[in-house]
A and B are shown apart, each in its own frame.
Chain A
Amino acid sequence: MNNLTDDTNQTINIEIDLILDAIFQKYGYDFRNYSRAHVKRRLLHRLAGSHFKSLSQMQHEVLYDPSFFQEILKDLSINVTEMFRDPKFYLALRTEIIPLLKTYPFIKVWHAGCSTGEEVYSFAIVLKEEGLYDRVQIYATDFNRSVLDIAKKGIYPINRIKEFTANYQQAGGKQSFSDYYMADYNSVIFDQSLKKNIVFAEHNLVTDSVFAEVNIIICRNVLIYFNRELQNKVFTLFSESLINGGFLCLGSKETLQFSQNAGLYDVLNAYEKLYKKRII
């Protein structure tokens, strides 16, 4: 056996436990129940690009330099997203959930872990095209203030528009996508009227609790970074926030199946991970 490697790996794992504890105690962000392979990869990537010799040295900087911590926060929270990410998901939303939402006089939507907002605007566009926008309240939350600032602005680099437009068309878009934004040389700004019924707010799924009763929760590719225990905790938070008959929409590789909350839901679409909370 290669004991040196095992020993080094064990030391790195101890250092990761310590740095996550330090972050929680000092800044209140709790990554202790995040998927370890992900956290390890991100921290070691930061370490490799730094002048520190070890994670222990880096921990010192995390504790004493809040601006350095902000960099680590960016590393640990994944904010890679796109408009109409997984077009088939939005198509399923349109055909399977929107008709049911139309039966309610007023609809509350919660985008949990909304990151830089691309998927919030995507769903807002769907709601507008389906004639529902004027009777919705959309809560878009994330624990990371800097991504929320981007989400609030609704301004994205112009080089992404080609991809966004293709997604929009595959997602069953009814207009020309360019109806929804204005372009300048480097960026596009989305139709400001899409924001009218959106509230962007800080909310941490790990440490905060229920803040509203909603008809639909969209939380995609957030839970994959949590371990099972934390996933269960968040599923309970979602179940407490959803009205009976409300909808839970997850990322295509996420599942309620192994959660103790699974029995509370019917599966609407197993492939796109659309669930309906039972009316008990």
Chain B
Amino acid sequence: MNYKAIVIGASTGGFYALKRLITALPGGFEFPILIVQHISSNSDNFMARYLDGISKLTVKEADEKEAILPGTVYIAPPNYHMLVEENFTIGLSTEEKIRYARPSIDVLFESAVYAYGNQLIGIVLTGANNDGSEGLLAIKKAGGLTIVQTPEQAEADMMPQSAIDLAKPDHILPIEGIAALLTSLNNNQKNSITT
């Protein structure tokens, strides 16, 4: 299977989990990564700037209509939903909160399924709600790869547990395991392209 993109959802405790995951990915990592982290609507783009400074990848807050490029991490802006357009650009929306969240993980995941079909990797990390479960199920149904953080390791176990119960993901792993899996998928795919 050749994958084209990774979508990640995180909530309570997500900042630390994302920091560990993103900084564990090697330079030359090619899959674009789209992230929804639940965050207060008045926040600025601190998380993107911080992760950009300490990781080997380019990390930025997403702009509307922006083309999704390899090796780049896009973080949904506070108070906007982030969607993937089928021409592989980013769409933003101010429509109502879904399950009390804007940005919503489900909105990102479900739109990414239409754009990437089965060539999508979906990951649900720590959180104290059930956003992301429906979206992960949609990825699973479309034949994509689904991964959930081990609930015992998560700062808040409700969101990963909910995703496990609903979507029956392909992998349940701690952060280090997720980073290792993504790195090996990335390397395999690179090798298969060059040979």
Contacts and interface: CB of A to CB of B under 8 A. Distances in A.
Contact of A2 (B80, B110, B117): B117
Given A36-B85, A224-B93, A9 B114 contact: yes
B65 A258 contact: yes
Contacts, number: 69
Contacts of A87: 42
Given A37-B85, A41-B107, A255-B63, A224 B117 contact: no
A5 B143 contact: yes
B173 interface: no
Contacts of B110: 41
B118 A253 contact: no
A78 B111 contact: no
B36 to A, nearest CB: 14
Contacts of A13: 86
B142 A35 contact: no
A221 B93 CA distance: 8
Interface string A237-280: 00000000000000111110010000000000000000000000
Nearest to A251: B94
A224 B91 contact: yes
Contacts of B114: 9, 37, 40
A254 B64 contact: yes
Contact of A37 (B63, B77, B84, B142): B84
B75 interface: no
Interface in B142-160: 142-143
A269 B70 CA distance: 30
28 contacts: A1-B118, A2-B143, A5-B117, A5-B118, A5-B142, A5-B143, A9-B114, A35-B91, A36-B85, A36-B86, A37-B85, A37-B114, A40-B111, A41-B83, A41-B110, A42-B95, A78-B94, A80-B96, A81-B94, A87-B42, A170-B42, A221-B94, A224-B91, A224-B92, A231-B65, A251-B94, A253-B77, A254-B64
Given A5-B143, A253-B80, A37 B91 contact: yes
A65 interface: no
B93 A38 contact: yes
Interface in A1-40: 1-2, 5-6, 9, 13, 35-38, 40
Interface string A69-94: 00000000010110000110000000
Nearest to B112: A37
Given A6-B117, A78-B95, A41 B111 contact: yes
A86 B78 CA distance: 11
B119 to A, nearest CB: 9
A190 interface: no
A228 interface: yes
B98 to A, nearest CB: 10
A228 B65 contact: yes
Contact of A253 (B92, B111, B142): B92
A277 to B, nearest CB: 22
B85 A224 contact: no
A217 to B, nearest CB: 18
Contacts of B142: 2, 5
Interface string A214-225: 000000010011
